[in-house]
Structure 1
Amino acid sequence: MFQILHFEKPIPFMKFAKPGMIFSAALMVLSLVCVFQKGFNWGLDFTGGTIIEIGFQQSVELDEVRDALANNQIEGATLQHFGSSQDVLIRLSPHEGVKVEEQGRQVLAAAQKINPAATLKRVEFVGPSVGEELATDGALAMLASVICILLYVAFRFEWRLAVGGIASLVHDIVITLGIFAWFQIEFDLTVVAALMTVVGYSLNDTIVVFDRLRENFRKIRKGDTPYILDLSMTETLSRTIITSGLTFVVVMALFLKGGPLIHGFSTAMLVGVGFGTYSSIYVASALAMYLGVKREHMLPPQIEKEGADQQEIMP
């Protein structure tokens, strides 16, 4: 593996395991409080709303259309090009007392200020029943993935590591949800996809550390559990910096240049990548240490050969 850092001694990560776990627990409590008190700013995928397609005679910038809608006091619209740069798909949240047809006429009037030849191609309403179904399916998908991950880590490594790995996943997801609730960032299906991606990313980072931990437990006879954990995380630090750093740069580019349509996705990925790297050390590994993982738990079982306990009888 390409090494960009070399340390003569292991970095004492586990020296700060207790403060790290207290910090993580406090963040999770605050996140849960935000989720239950403030709730989420559900997107149209979950709440339902109006979908309006506007056709222009020439290419149009989304920012130009967004400004025109704002000038007509049409707030909370989500825009994207649909098929070509001349067609714009506009999503509006439902407003009490405003009919779908009226929303279509308001949007068309704003679009015709940009181009008088703009036409209204379609107006559709997405009911909230579809949103409820999507929310349920998303939650079930997340639950199924967590259960499968728990079984996989427990089978491949050891149950103490499995508990630590699942705790780190829950930690990353809960904090990400807390940030979305606190800042009231729109929560749509792209955010659900980001959360599933964060689960895979966080698990992959944790598995790398656990795999090196198992190797070091088997080949290093001296050293207690905190020392082996520090050594394993130090040896994988170069890989973590390369992977997390590159991922962070790409997601930051999406966050800055991707536009409002994937703002929720990029925000969830930024938070998930950051806390996913942190939780591999101070949640997954630290919790496994406090649960009492030892060298004996990582050694392969010894199989005694049949008759090995019997003494050979000389004639």
Structure 2
Amino acid sequence: MRVFQNANHRFLSMRRPAYFASAAIITIGLVSMAFRGGLRAGVEFTGGVLLEVQFSQTTDIAQIRDALNAGGTSGVQIQQLRAVGQESNDFLLRVPIGDDEDQNETRDQIRASLETEFAAGSFEIARGDALSAKVGGEFQRTAVLAVLLSFLLTLIYLAFRFEWRFGVAAVIATAHDMLITFGFISLLNIEMSLATVAALLTIIGYSLNDTIVVFDRVRENLRKKRKESYDTTLDRSLNETLPRTVLTSGTTLMALVSLVVIGGAVIRPFAGVLIIGVLVGTYSSIFVASPVLLEIHDRARRRAAMAARRAG
């Protein structure tokens, strides 16, 4: 991109304001999670019944909720499935249940409650899934393990491909992205489902890919510019990879915004979480990963200088 052809921004000089901004955003997210008692887990993690109900006539959520409450089924999460600008009479019902509750009985109770308010032939249960609380707990453990394993494998790869300090900086930057993303998920009250976990794992890959591109250019410039200071080399590398960073993030965001606008209610949380992750990942590859790498380098240099003085 020609606008970045001669870019010479001093990104590292802005690292302290960036640290403050990141700390403030993370703190707000943590406060939100503490206030809400954690993230809102979907039926995939808590156990429950998931039903897609299609009505033949115009229906609103309030009518469905009143019918379910009258039938003795409370705590149901109701979501209308429609794309922006389109009317739809399809609804997604999430009903949390415990291990001691029968899934088929819950499904029959929902059907009976709806038939009390609506005619028997005026709606159809198009899809039904059920998960026990035990399976939901297993999904939780698997999701956490997947995230932790991705961090571990990334650290091993970067330590082997570059140096250990590159790996540590990349993992810290990715952890920063996860914390901010979790905060926004809590603030926006987005449900934690398997699709959301898939989005989080995608964010990890996206953020790491962006960081690795910058670090690869850092390694090249360290070989070419041996007399150049470390912070100058980092700034040079960030400016040289800036066109790629902006283009990749921009085109990715175009696709994700399209999914949010016209993709419908089912795909919208997945795309929304990815939008947050792409924005945060792009920011962290410039204002977090490289500054953290500089901090690690400076500390290692100071320790080496102290060791040399003691030996002398």
**Equivalent pair of 2:26/2:180 in contact (CA under 8 Å):** yes
* 1:36 aligned residue: 34
CA distance in 2 between partners of 1:121 and 1:256 (Å): 24
* 2:308 aligned residue: none
What does 1:2-151 align with in structure 2 at a 5 Å threshold?
3-8=1-6, 10-38=8-36, 39-52=38-51, 54=53, 67-73=59-65, 76-78=77-79, 90-94=92-96, 99-108=106-115, 112=119, 116=121, 118-120=123-125, 125-151=130-156
1:265 corresponds to which of 267, 270, 281? 270
CA distance in 1 between partners of 2:42 and 2:177 (Å): 22
Q: Would the alpha carbon gap of residues 170 and 121 (structure 1) be closer, same or farther in structure 2, given more than 3 Å must change?
A: closer
**Equivalent pair of 1:27/1:175 in contact (CA under 8 Å):** yes
Q: Is there any run of 5+ residues in structure 1 with no aligned partner, and where?
A: 82-86, 297-315
CA distance in 2 between partners of 1:190 and 1:207 (Å): 26
Counting aligned pairs with the same residue, the percent is 34
**Equivalent pair of 2:53/2:93 in contact (CA under 8 Å):** no
Q: Would the alpha carbon gap of residues 126 and 108 (structure 1) be closer, same or farther in structure 2, given more than 3 Å must change?
A: farther
**Equivalent pair of 2:49/2:97 in contact (CA under 8 Å):** no
Structure with bigger gyration radius: 1
CA distance in 2 between partners of 1:238 and 1:277 (Å): 12
What does 1:146-161 align with in structure 2 at a 5 Å threshold?
146-161=151-166
**Equivalent pair of 1:54/1:89 in contact (CA under 8 Å):** yes
CA distance in 2 between partners of 1:167 and 1:122 (Å): 42
Specify the code of the residue in structure 1 equivalent to 2:12. Answer: M
CA distance in 1 between partners of 2:251 and 2:271 (Å): 14
**Equivalent pair of 1:187/1:264 in contact (CA under 8 Å):** no
Question: 1:43 Cα deviation (Å)?
Answer: 1.0
CA distance in 1 between partners of 2:167 and 2:90 (Å): 47
Specify the code of the residue in structure 2 equivalent to 1:192. Answer: V
- Bigger helix fraction: 2
Confirm or deny that 1:224 pairs with 2:240: no
CA distance in 2 between partners of 1:239 and 1:134 (Å): 36
Question: 1:127 Cα deviation (Å)?
Answer: 1.9
Specify the code of the residue in structure 2 equivalent to 1:25. Answer: A
Shifted more, 120-129 versus 271-280: the winner is 120-129
CA distance in 1 between partners of 2:46 and 2:279 (Å): 30
CA distance in 2 between partners of 1:80 and 1:278 (Å): 33
Say which SS state the counterpart of residue 51 (structure 1) adopts: strand
Q: Would the alpha carbon gap of residues 24 and 259 (structure 1) be closer, same or farther in structure 2, given more than 3 Å must change?
A: same
TM-score (norm 1): 0.78
1:277-297 alpha-carbon deviations (Å, 9 max, x no partner): 000111110001011269x9x
CA distance in 1 between partners of 2:92 and 2:236 (Å): 53
Question: 1:253 Cα deviation (Å)?
Answer: 1.1
CA distance in 2 between partners of 1:124 and 1:134 (Å): 15
**Equivalent pair of 1:100/1:125 in contact (CA under 8 Å):** no
TM-score (norm 2): 0.79
CA distance in 1 between partners of 2:124 and 2:6 (Å): 69
Q: Would the alpha carbon gap of residues 157 and 119 (structure 1) be closer, same or farther in structure 2, given more than 3 Å must change?
A: closer
CA RMSD of the aligned region, Å? 3.1
CA distance in 1 between partners of 2:90 and 2:118 (Å): 10
* 2:258 aligned residue: 253
CA distance in 1 between partners of 2:126 and 2:28 (Å): 46
* 1:305 aligned residue: none
What does 1:164-183 align with in structure 2 at a 5 Å threshold?
164-183=169-188
Aligned residues, how many?
A: 280
Question: 1:124 Cα deviation (Å)?
Answer: 5.9
Specify the code of the residue in structure 2 equivalent to 1:91. Answer: L
Say which SS state the counterpart of residue 141 (structure 1) adopts: helix
